[in-house]
Structure 1
Amino acid sequence: MRMRNKYRKPTTLRCNAGSRCSMSAVVWSLVGCLLILHLYSIVHHKDGVGEEFQMRMSHHPQFHELQKVEEVNIQIPPPRGKRSPRAGKRRPRRTTTLIDEFLDENSQLRHIFFPDKKTSIGPLKDQGNDSYYYQPGRIWLDTEGNPIQAHGGGILYDEKTRTHYWYGEYKDGPTYHAHKKGAARVDIIGVGCYSSMDLWAWKDEGIVLAAEENDETHDLHKSNVLERPKVIYNEKTRKYVMWMHIDDTNYTKASVGTAISDYPTGPFEYLHSQRPHGFDSRDMTIFKDDDGVAYLIYSSEDNSELHIGPLTEDYLNVTSNARRILVGQHREAPALFKYQGTYYMITSGCTGWAPNEALAHAAESIMGPWETMGNPCIGGNKMFRLANFFAQSTFVLPLPGFPGSFIFMADRWNPADLRDSRYVWLPLIVGGPADQPLEYNFGFPVWSRVSIYWHRKWRLPQGWSGLK
């Protein structure tokens, strides 16, 4: 579908009767035609590649299963007893929604969002036919039988050890409020690390970056905030580099912190914090491109926009080059990935611990412009889709050997008890026409739709190998 480009001035060719058009007008007309043909060839080529991949997937029964729309029918029960204070703050006069029930720790539907430990999954339990199945929202146990603590995290595949390492916030402590209007929080314990060969059975490698117990001026003092740690490897320096959101109790420091290690399992040495490019930074992530250049992406200007810019060659600092993207859209929790030369990103809205609608974005250049493609969620029910399956994006992991297929990683936060926050891993597939036309260019996109499919349980395709 074509749409008028509001940034493009109309061009008219004026010819007097009995005269010929100017040579420059003819030349520019030819240039315009060639440009349109070039854009068409790009779209046609990408569509052809996408169709070829879709044909391959259609003959793979497990991919067919992953793309089935799985619906969820939940009846909201009538009010019973006193609602929790957190749920009562959300416009008590209007009709109760599933989000209200989600936020109400006294809700009769609590077991749907946070199943009890009897339903937990893990390698030490006799799962029967459910082994190696992801079951979003259930307690996920490590190889020692303990709940995995890797919230707001990301995964590094290490070429040396041919192992996946999952880093995240270790929140195994009591939840409290620093003051009456403060957000729910857990004291910094550190960054947890887990290793796996198959992405399902995870071994606890311990705390790889620990909190500072005594020095109250230290960024990692337990009273402060450490969120969304991500680790990438620098081939030139042979260092593992960790970036994270660093803040104080009141979220006024709004900085990023950096740490390094010689090994993926640490220990990591904390270096420093900064406000990147001189701006406040909260939810953030790191993306390493195919050419080895790494980028920092972070919410800024009171979460009203995102900033993106390359890191220095050693990955320890930002360069002076940065762009503002998604200005005025109030997005956070960015999770970037790349497919067939196109950059994609999943973000969430800014509603604290409460779930909200996810959006997918795409760009031909990582520095932008970025286009918003719409809600990527498929299945569940309307409220599931509008609440991003009651979770918040943190990372998108590509599956080697299956082009266009990824694992969407998200956190289902439990603000009443943050250590009991759950993991929502779902299949993400790139394919099919995009939902929305371009805003800044011509009226047809040159990329495919991003789809995240809801499943009560699912597993990776047979034949998948954790080795790249």
Structure 2
Amino acid sequence: MLSMESGFGIAWCAGEDAWISLTMIRPGELWNDGNGVPINAHGGGVLFHEGTYWWFGEHKIGGEEGNRAHVGVHVYASENLTDWRDEGIALAVDDAPGSEIPSGCILERPKVIFNARTGKFVMWFHLEPKGGGYGGARSGVAVADAVAGPYRFLHSLRPNAGVWPENVAEEWKRTLTEREEQELAALGLGGAPFPWYPREVVFRRDFEGGQMARDMTLFVDDDGCAYQVYASENNGTLHVSLLDETFTKPAGRYVRIFPGRFHEAPAVMKWGGRYWLFTSDCTGWAPNTARLSSAASMWGPWEEHGNPCLGSGAQIANSFESQPTFVLPVVGKRDAFVYMADRWRPGNAIDGRYVWLPVVFRHGLPVVEWRGAWEVEGEWDV
């Protein structure tokens, strides 16, 4: 007999004396929480804390209006990555006068990290003010005393205002002339790949007010330093930015990587003494070919390794019809990571699906191979 419960399937096999339960992850199918309700945590990330995994993500509503925030950030808890408890809304939208996170704003890709120095849980996310489209390109920050919240909104910002990136030549460390501003404005840059992208111009435009920050992730290194990695400069360039000791602000050190290559949806893991970065191209809600890059240091230099996806031709071309959001280390397992991605449904946002797959290693590279179903417990050796 076989019983399937949404994307987490439970196979019951009749043995001689007992029934045996095997819990599977089924990418792209509906995943229910312990109450039988579909999990609502899109563009998310997972924090492991004191024996439990905490999954934070965007709470969506139905229709196109679900692409904007109307509830907030949802959080779920699990000890095994398959059975998830609904722990409620970690950060709620706020319609009070002057709020920066009212209903109808854009609140995307929330990530939470723990600061051992302060004892606080810190959430960062991509924030666009209500009614402004994607022109704001800000980072929102919230904190909590407990992992599930409630989180208190602190501030929003454009990172690294008044700071030059560490890996650009001195000749480019100057603000734009009036003529350069006019020429840049005439290009009409949005967020999509642009054939004549001015690689040494956009970050100079944003020097005083701070750098644009759209798709983003957080990464805490073994030494306790935390980094924000985000798509900047009208999505044309990625930035790697060190956070301060509280994890609530930039520390004033950052580098630009892959100027003009148009990466977004960054997700970071550390393996084999190197840092590995999964990203996507910039094609809006439509899936595209994923990219893999690596460096010996978060400060670079970074090199690209091509497409990390293994599967059929269509799956390789569109990254399993999904876009990366996070790479989760599995605690207690050797070389064990879960690649987390989203299958967006912008016409009915609440129907977005989760594509979780094990990271496997081929010829010294971490890659992602399609599986219709897989077992967390059976995937890796202890």
The interval holding the TM-score normalised by the smaller chain is 0.7 to 0.9
Letter in 1 for 2:230: Y
Q: Match for residue 458 of structure 1? A: 374
Q: Which residue of 2 aligns with 1:149?
A: 40
Aligned length: 321
Q: Which residue of 2 aligns with 1:170?
A: 59
- Report the Cα offset of residue 327 of structure 1: 1.1
Alignment counterpart, residue 206 of structure 1, candidates 88, 111, 119:
88
1:222 aligns with 2:103: yes
2:333 is aligned to 402
In the alignment, is the contact (CA less than 8 A) between 1:362 and 1:372 conserved in 2? yes
* Aligned partners of 1:241 and 1:258 also within 8 Å: yes
Shift in CA distance, 418/304, structure 1 to aligned 2, threshold 3 Å: same
Following superposition, the deviation at residue 214 of structure 1 comes to 4.2
Correspondent of 1:267 among 150, 173, 176: 150
Q: Any residues of structure 2 matched to 1:64-463 within 5 Å, and which?
A: 120-122=6-8, 127-128=11-12, 131-159=22-50, 162-171=51-60, 173-176=61-64, 185-215=67-97, 217-248=98-129, 249=131, 250-277=133-160, 278-379=210-311, 381-432=312-363, 448-462=364-378
Q: CA deviation at 1:176?
A: 2.8
Post-superposition offset of 1:271: 0.1
Partner of 2:320, secondary structure, is: helix
Q: Which amino acid in the other structure matches residue 284 of structure 1?
A: M
> After superposition, what is the alpha-carbon deviation per residue over 1:221-249, rounded to whole angstroms, capped at 9, x for unaligned?
01111000000001110000001111134
Per-residue deviation, 1:127: 4.6
In 2 relative to 1, CA 317–415 (structure 1 residues): closer, same or farther, beyond 3 Å?
same
CA distance in 2, matches of 1:289, 1:251: 30
Contact 1:399 1:405 in 2 (8 A): yes
AA in 1 matched with 2:12: G
Partner AA of 2:62 in structure 1: P
Kindly state the Cα deviation for residue 131 of structure 1 after the two structures are TM-superposed: 4.1
The structure with the larger Rg is 1
| TM-score calculated relative to the size of structure 1 | 0.66
**Counterpart in the other structure of 1:76:** none
Provide the rounded CA distance (Å) in 1 between the counterparts of 2:144 and 2:69: 23
Distance 1:358 1:221 in 2: 33
Partner AA of 2:285 in structure 1: W
Contact 1:349/1:357, CA 8 A, preserved across alignment: yes
Q: Which stretches in structure 2 are left out of the alignment for 5+ residues?
A: 14-20, 161-209
TM-score (normalizing by structure 2): 0.80
Q: CA RMSD in A?
A: 1.9
> More helix by proportion, 1 or 2?
1
Name the CA distance, whole Å, in 1 between partners of 2:37 and 2:318: 28
SS in 1 for 2:102: coil
1:398 CA displacement = 1.5
The structure in which a higher percent of residues are strand is: 2
Query: Match of 1:455, as an amino acid?
Result: R
**Secondary structure at 2:252 match in 1:** coil
Q: In the TM superposition, what is the alpha-carbon distance from 1:463 to its structure 2 partner?
A: 8.7
Give the ranges of 4+ consecutive aligned residues of structure 1 lying more than 6 Å apart after TM superposition: none
1:312-346 deviations in Å (ceiling 9; x for gaps)? 00101001111000111100000001012200010
Please say if residues 297 and 307 of structure 1, whose CA atoms lie closer than 8 Å, have aligned partners that are also in contact. yes
CA distance in 1 between counterparts of 2:337 and 2:258 reads: 24
